[in-house]
């Protein structure tokens, strides 16, 4: 199973929706409950974002094994973020 890396920023409403989506997916149980997620706050831990430099502009951005799976865009709804997070979880589970 792959670990998902979520680059986020405190106070970001899209990041809050990503956390909400993760909680919803984990609440479904099954293999989603076991998906490891590592959160990196862009402002608090800039050194941890260096491996992803130049690969994203907006947060949240989701990566698995260095591959970008999703990057939020202005105006993305909770439903859009939930669908993207589900695809990311499916990718993590598939290994």
Place of tokens 């984990």: 26
pTM above 0.85? yes
- Give the residue-averaged pLDDT of 42-62: 96
Residue 29 has a pLDDT of 86
Q: pLDDT for 54-94, tens place per residue?
A: 999 999 999 998 899 999 999 999 999 999 999 999 999 99
CA 3 vs. chain centroid, Å, equals 10
Closest C-alpha to 15, from 56, 51, 53: 56
What is the C-alpha radius of gyration for the chain, rounded to an integer number of angstroms? Answer: 12
Which strands form 37-41's sheet, in the order they lie side by side? 37-41, 4-8, 61-64, 67-71
Domains and CATH numbers, the chain: 4-94 (3.40.30.10)
């Amino acid at each position: 199973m792959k670990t998902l890396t979520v680059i986020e920023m405190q106070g970001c409403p899209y990041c809050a929706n990503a956390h909400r989506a993760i909680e919803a997916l984990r609440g479904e149980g099954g293999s989603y409950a076991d998906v490891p997620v590592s959160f990196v706050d862009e402002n608090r831990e800039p050194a941890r974002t260096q491996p992803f430099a130049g690969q994203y502009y907006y947060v949240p951005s989701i990566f698995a094994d260095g591959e970008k799976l999703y990057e939020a865009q202005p105006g993305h709804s909770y439903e859009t973020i939930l669908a993207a997070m589900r695809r990311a979880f499916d990718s993590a589970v598939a290994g």
